[in-house]
Amino acid sequence: MTPTEQSISTWLPGPILGIETSCDETAASVLSENGVVLSNIITSQHAVHQRFGGVVPELASRAHIESIEGVSTEAVNQAGLAWADLTGIAVTQGPGLAGALLVGVNYAKALAYALNIPVVGVSHLEGHIASAWIQDSTFPMPCVVLVVSGGHTHLYYKERIGHCRLLGATRDDAAGEAFDKGAQLLSLEYPGGPAIDRLARQGNPEAIAFPRSYLKKGSLDFSFSGLKTALLYKLQAMNELARASQAADLAASYQEAIVTVLVEKAFAAVRSSGAQALAVVGGVSANSRLRTLLQQRAASENLRLSLPPLAYCTDNAAMVAAAGKQALRAGLCAALDIDAQASLA
């Protein structure tokens, strides 16, 4: 229990509103009492940040303020409900951009106060992890969960609800960061992951031998900073014409170096932990090449795999509502002095 949590003796299960504002997506979603996603509204700020090549925190906060009311209202309307039908609110408390988180947390608190229903703060990471069960409620635990996003590359052993053991993590860049920084070097648009994914489909993943960092034998940690430097050196050694004509091969080979390490380490974690199932979640799990390799490997090893639909891979509020539902069911809720926690683990 975090300091802001308290116990609720009776929570009447019913529809939950999830709210997500940790970075550059304003999202709201309503989950039914039995976990069905009734609405999943996402407003992306990509157009706001595109010309800066990355998220500008102050602009993100302002854009969240402009969108939060409309996005939440649309989520409730699209679910076919009235505000009074909601029985709880879940909001991302951290980690993320402080100002951006504050918009969601304060909106959730005000709404909970007005509707006289509990609010619960959830970790963005717990949300991504919960996304593995949104469409596959029978997905088993214990399992290994690989969280791959813009800020995290974390491997967990998830024994049961509320219990995760960290098996490995990135020592430098996250996988999403490696995609975004690589895309910047390749002069592709922001956000870089989807741009590399698209371009790579026309390229040869074996064309350029980029380094794959496995670290020392048995390690379940990751490192992607060397790969980014290798791409930089490769581009510096090419003239403009070569860079343009080999753009697709560069993207495909660079992507391959990221995703093969993710696949190898995820399956190594499954082997060493003895788990019978693997879930891969977070924005990078939307990557088409990663999805193909994971599906092929899982099929050949007869392993149960959960790969959430694309709408639940990148930031969304259905995953926040799903994690919040678990907390409310466990009898937890937040006091109304709950605050954003930018560096929440």
148 or 277, CB closer to ligand KG4? 148
Residues 139-168 that bind Zn ion (CB under 5 A): 149
Site residue total, Zn ion (CB under 5 A): 2
**Residue 313 Cβ, how far from Zn ion at the closest point, in Å?**
9
55: number of Cβ within 10 Å: 18
Binding mask 147-166 for ligand KG4 (x = CB under 6 A): --xxx---------------
Amino acid symbol at 117 = I
| 143-148 β-sheet, strand order | 163-169, 153-160, 143-148, 277-281, 304-306
86 or 185, CB closer to ligand KG4? 185
Regarding 223 and contact with Zn ion (CB under 5 A), the answer is: no
CB 189 within 8 A of CB 183: yes
How far is Cα 324 from Cα 130, in angstroms, rounded to an integer? 9
Q: Which residue of 18, 94, 121, 193 would you call a contact of ligand KG4, by CB under 6 A?
A: 193
286 or 322, CB closer to ligand KG4? 286
**Residue 265 Cβ, how far from Zn ion at the closest point, in Å?**
19
How far is Cα 137 from Cα 128, in angstroms, rounded to an integer? 15
| 16-20 β-sheet, strand order | 5-7, 332-334, 119-123, 88-94, 16-20, 25-31, 37-44
Regarding 249 and contact with ligand KG4 (CB under 6 A), the answer is: no
How far is Cα 18 from Cα 108, in angstroms, rounded to an integer? 9
23 or 334, CB closer to ligand KG4? 23
Q: Which tokens belong to 301?
A: 């090893």
Strands (E), the chain: 5-7, 16-20, 25-31, 37-44, 88-94, 119-123, 143-148, 153-160, 163-169, 277-281, 304-306, 332-334
Regarding 29 and contact with Zn ion (CB under 5 A), the answer is: no
Give SS3 for 166: strand
| 127, interface contact from Zn ion, ligand KG4, none, CB < 5-8 Å by kind | none
1 or 310, CB closer to ligand KG4? 310
Regarding 255 and contact with Zn ion (CB under 5 A), the answer is: no
177 or 249, CB closer to ligand KG4? 177
Regarding 282 and contact with ligand KG4 (CB under 6 A), the answer is: yes
249 or 315, CB closer to Zn ion? 315
Strands 88-94 and 16-20: parallel
Q: Which residue of 18, 104, 176, 308 would you call a contact of ligand KG4, by CB under 6 A?
A: 176
Q: Which residue of 126, 173, 197, 249 would you call a contact of ligand KG4, by CB under 6 A?
A: 197
Which positions lie near Zn ion, rule CB under 5 A?
149, 315
Which positions lie near ligand KG4, rule CB under 6 A?
23, 149-151, 176, 179-180, 191-194, 197, 282-284, 286-287, 314-315
